[in-house]
Amino acid sequence: MKKKSDMKKGNSNRPKILVTGGAGFIGSHTTVELWNAGYEPVIVDNFSNSKKWVVISIRELTSSGIRCYDVDCCDQTNMRKVFEKEGQFYGIIHFAAYKSVSESVDQPELYYSNNIGALKCIMELKEEFGIPDLIFSSSATVYGDVKNLPVTENAPLGAASSPYGVTKQLGEELLLDAFETGAIILRYFNPIGAHPSGLLGELPAGTPQNLVPFITQTAIGKRKALKVFGTDYNTSDGTCIRDYIHVVDLARAHLSALGRLLVDRKTDIFNVGTGRGYSVKEVVETFQKVNGITLPVIYDARREGDVEAVYADCTKANQLLLNWRAEYSLDDALMHAWKWEIRLAEGIDLAA
């Protein structure tokens, strides 16, 4: 295997990183942070759940000509052409996957073939081209219903609650079996917010399933009212608790994971959250407070599949991911999410 020092760093002399799903919500923010940190990110995205104009926004934000290939990660022939054309990648960050829990329940085969197929393709190309590092986008959903909080990486897994969760848990197992070294698995909690510039953010397809985009679409008038799913949970105010992490903090965790592999090659798993849980009601109240908006809210029945409370113990990431820790507050994330929703209403997506 080539040593990193022998890696061809491309004409920009920046270490080249392949970012699959790099036009997506977390992928796009990570691509910007990679560039800002001195890497040369190269995007592969089939735009099944992202927009091509996002790549233009990334180039604008980084004043760069970051390259993007419209390729499906399950298409190994065309993926191999990207690897051949680009020369040696220093590492791969693999985001490309379908990620809707409810859709996965309706279309399990689609999720298994796409999410596992794409990962297997990337794993094989990693080996074929001797690429040392792989960062895998996993999810706290693998914990299922959590008994002890905050949840640590050693907690028992229970992803069977959805095919989406199973693809993440199975993906982790494949990586742990295949790579004793050179792979880091990041279990995301609840990514929210948007880039402070207002140029990047979440683009939910259709009706948002997640809380924060539903809040901002209600605030902008695209939705009549926010439904709060369940007020009878065994929590301080009866609503579910989650660990909401700003998407830029989450993006930066990927850089720390690449840095971690420089000092310790051992394959490992890290929770990436803030370590603090907030209830749905607290998120709604905070959004209204920081943005000076009153939301129309309907208190509704529980949503099937929701767990009562889950938030991260991030001690391991704070200690071993080069002292990475989440820095943005919930206030920041909800202000940035609102700024982004306003930009969308102004037609930023039509600009490109």
Q: Active-site residue numbers?
A: 164
What one-character DSSP code corresponds to residue 269? Answer: E
The residue whose two tokens read 């009562």 is 308
* Nearer to ligand WQD among residue 82 and residue 283 (C-beta): 283
Amino acid at 89: F
229 binds ligand WQD (CB under 6 A): yes
Q: Least distance to ligand WQD from the beta carbon of 163, Å?
A: 12
240 binds ligand WQD (CB under 6 A): yes
Evaluate whether 171 touches 216 at the Cβ level (below 8 Å).
Answer: no
Interaction pattern, residues 115-154, with ligand WQD; x per rule: CB under 6 A: ------------------------x-x-------------
Label residue 327 exposed, middle or buried (CB < 10 Å: 0-12, 13-18, 19+).
Answer: exposed
What one-character DSSP code corresponds to residue 205? Answer: S
169 binds ligand WQD (CB under 6 A): no
Positions in 30-49 near ligand WQD (CB under 6 A): none
Using CB under 6 A, pick the residue from 58, 280, 317, 333 that binds ligand WQD. Answer: 280
51 binds ligand WQD (CB under 6 A): no
Using CB under 6 A, pick the residue from 29, 195, 242, 343 that binds ligand WQD. Answer: 242
Q: Count other Cβ atoms within 10 Å, centred on residue 108.
A: 15
> ω into residue 296 within 30 of 0, thus cis?
no
Tokens encoding 32: 């910007």
Which of the ranges 224-232, 247-255, 312-320, 321-329 carries the binding residues for ligand WQD, by CB under 6 A? 224-232
Closest residue to ligand WQD in the complex (CB) = 240
| Residues in a beta bridge with 268 | 184
CA separation for the pair 268, 136 (Å, rounded) = 10
* Nearer to ligand WQD among residue 303 and residue 316 (C-beta): 303
Nearest in space to 307 (alpha carbons), one of 190, 169, 133: 190
Q: Least distance to ligand WQD from the beta carbon of 5, Å?
A: 36
Residues binding ligand WQD: what is the number (CB under 6 A)?
A: 19
Using CB under 6 A, pick the residue from 80, 222, 227, 265 that binds ligand WQD. Answer: 227
Q: Least distance to ligand WQD from the beta carbon of 71, Å?
A: 23
Q: Beta strand 91-94 with 133-139: parallel, antiparallel or unpaired?
A: parallel
CA separation for the pair 105, 113 (Å, rounded) = 14
Q: Least distance to ligand WQD from the beta carbon of 73, Å?
A: 17
211 binds ligand WQD (CB under 6 A): yes
DSSP symbols for 93-131: EE--S---HHHHHH-HHHHIIIIIHHHHHHHHHHHHTT-
* Nearer to ligand WQD among residue 82 and residue 175 (C-beta): 175
Which residues bind to ligand WQD, rule: CB under 6 A? Answer: 99, 101, 139, 141, 188, 190, 209-211, 214, 226-229, 240, 242, 280, 303, 306
